[in-house]
């Protein structure tokens, strides 16, 4: 894959569902190593866009170009871990499914869990983990395959604000530590989370699912310490909130 070629893209994609207006046309290009946030009202098509980029859903019209087979990882809203298996076995699963020997897969899983701060919880089962820990296991499972594209569908929505902040910092750290950082597409309803996490935010129109606005975030990734208190951050949050409000359907006061 050439460095300037998109990891995945949607070109004039339209998705039709019974009983509702179609979503799109949507055009979106994800470049290698960038972090993109998708924001929009419920029903704007954010999760649909992720499924299209992952190849889990086909468009009704247009072209969805995905990463090569086995090069995309997906983190869902809930950790979706196997309850009968320990943390290391859960993380090793995609490697084993790809044909890696079990011992090698378990060794790599242990390294991935240590990277997310769970090196002492390898034998813990999901019911023995907090919500934040379970999500760390899910992130480790996604990153252990060293994907080109990492898709995250509101993975922190059910967590408290402090845990969310820690996980975002961890995600930046893990992303930056890779020799070739994966492209990341992150769905969120939280404009502060979007500005802090992503280098670019896509606002989807609430009714059509089309791109209403694309906004770059100021500064470099990962963020410096105390960046949430910086004027550039606060200004970017307010600008994104205004853009999101403009893309929302009219409401009667």
**Domain regions of the chain by residue span:** 1-71+148-253, 82-146
- Round the average pLDDT of the chain to a whole number and report it: 93
Distance CA 190, CA 181 (A): 24
Q: What is the pLDDT of residue 141?
A: 96
Query: pLDDT value at position 3?
Result: 59
Helix (H) or strand (E) holding 92: helix 87-97
**Each residue's pLDDT tens digit, 147-185:** 999 999 999 988 999 999 999 999 999 999 999 999 999
> What backbone phi and psi angles, to 5 degrees, belong to 123?
-95, 5
Q: Could you tell me the CA-to-CA distances from 51 to 55, 58, 73, 74, 174 in Å, in that order? A: 6, 8, 11, 9, 23
pLDDT at 118 (0 to 100): 95
pLDDT at position 252 is 37
CA–CA gap between residue 3 and residue 19 (Å, rounded): 41
Question: For the whole model, what pTM was predicted?
Answer: 0.93
In the predicted structure, residue 251 carries a pLDDT above the cut 70? no
- Choose which CATH entry (3.40.50.300, 3.40.50.1970, 1.10.1060.10, 3.40.50.720) describes domain 1-71+148-253: 3.40.50.300
* Predicted confidence (pLDDT) at residue 43 exceeds the cutoff of 90: no
| Radius of gyration of the CA atoms of the chain, in A | 18
């Amino acid at each position: 894959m050439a460095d300037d070629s998109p990891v995945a893209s949607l070109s004039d994609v339209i998705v039709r569902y019974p009983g509702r207006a179609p979503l799109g046309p949507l055009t979106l290009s994800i470049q290698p190593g960038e972090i993109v946030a998708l924001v929009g009202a419920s029903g704007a098509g954010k999760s649909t866009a992720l499924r299209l980029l992952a190849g889990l859903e086909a468009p009704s019209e247009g072209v969805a170009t995905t990463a090569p087979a086995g090069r995309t990882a997906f983190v869902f809203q809930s950790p979706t871990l196997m309850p009968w298996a320990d943390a290391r076995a859960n993380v090793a699963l995609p490697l084993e499914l790809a044909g890696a020997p079990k011992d090698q897969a378990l060794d790599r899983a242990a390294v991935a869990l240590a990277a997310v701060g769970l090196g002492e919880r390898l034998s813990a089962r999901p019911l023995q983990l907090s919500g934040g820990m379970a999500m760390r296991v899910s992130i480790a499972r996604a990153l252990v395959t060293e994907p080109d594209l990492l898709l995250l569908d509101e993975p922190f929505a059910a967590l408290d604000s402090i845990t969310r902040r820690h996980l975002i910092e961890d995600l930046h750290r893990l992303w930056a530590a890779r020799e070739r950082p994966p492209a990341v597409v992150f769905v969120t309803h939280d404009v502060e989370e979007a500005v802090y996490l992503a280098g670019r935010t896509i606002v989807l129109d609430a009714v059509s699912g089309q791109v209403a606005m694309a906004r770059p975030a100021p500064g470099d990734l990962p963020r410096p310490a105390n960046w949430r208190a910086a004027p550039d951050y606060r200004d970017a949050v307010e600008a994104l909130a205004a853009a999101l409000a403009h893309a929302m359907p009219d409401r009667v006061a």
